[in-house]
Amino acid sequence: MATALGPHGVNIGQFVSAFNSETKDSPGLTFTVDISVYRDRSLDFVVKSPPASVLLKRAAGVARGSGEPNKEKVGRVSREQLEDIAKTKMEDLNTDDLDEAVRMVEGTARSMGIEWDSSNAERGEE
CATH code of the domain occupying 52-123: 1.10.10.250
Domain range list for the chain = 2-47, 52-123
Within 8 A by CB and 6+ apart from 98, the residues are 83, 86, 87, 90
What are the pLDDT digits (tens) for 84-117?
A: 999 999 999 989 999 999 999 999 999 999 999 8
pTM of the model: 0.78
Per-residue pLDDT, 61: 95
What are the pLDDT digits (tens) for 42-62?
A: 889 999 999 999 999 999 999
Per-residue pLDDT, 121: 44
